[in-house]
């Protein structure tokens, strides 16, 4: 299950910085504790996957979700173990810049599941 992020300002800033012309949305960790990112832009998802792989050696999987009459949405999903590794890489120190709301959601998984 994917849930669109409530942090629209951050997503819009990212979209403008990357000069994207399509809407993007971030997905929260779902019930199986995987981390996902959703976008209608295949080049964006490919770029994020390649960047994360280059920096962390984590691969992730790209899935396509089709809805009748709508654009295909791509999900870059990291399985449970890779999700934990990715969260630890993102939040490697207490003072690293981050959104408090996102960190608060990640910490129970990071410290309770390792």
Beta-bridge mates of residue 4:
27
* Residue-range domains of the chain with CATH: 8-80 (3.10.28)
Higher pLDDT, 93 or 8: 93
Q: Is 62 exposed, middle or buried (0-12, 13-18, 19+ CB in 10 A)?
A: middle
Does the pLDDT of residue 23 top 60, yes or no? Answer: no
**Contact of 76 with 59, CB cutoff 8 Å:** no
Q: 34-84, pLDDT tens digit by residue?
A: 788 888 889 999 999 999 999 999 999 999 988 777 788 899 998 888 888
pLDDT value, residue 111: 79
* pTM of the shown model: 0.65
Per-residue CA distances from 57 to 54, 63, 64, 106 (Å): 6, 19, 22, 20
Does the pLDDT of residue 89 top 70, yes or no? Answer: yes
Distance of CA 16 to the CA centre of its chain: 17
């Amino acid at each position: 299950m994917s849930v669109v992020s409530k942090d629209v300002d951050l997503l819009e800033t990212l979209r403008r910085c990357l000069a994207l012309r399509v809407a993007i949305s971030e997905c929260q960790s779902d019930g199986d504790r995987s981390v996902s990112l959703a976008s209608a832009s295949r080049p964006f998802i490919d770029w994020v996957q390649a960047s994360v792989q280059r920096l962390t050696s984590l691969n992730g999987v790209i899935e396509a979700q089709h809805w009748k009459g709508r654009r295909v949405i791509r999900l870059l999903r990291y399985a449970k173990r890779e999700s934990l590794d990715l969260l630890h890489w993102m939040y490697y120190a207490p003072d690293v810049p981050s959104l408090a709301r996102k960190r608060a959601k990640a910490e129970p998984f990071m410290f309770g599941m390792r």
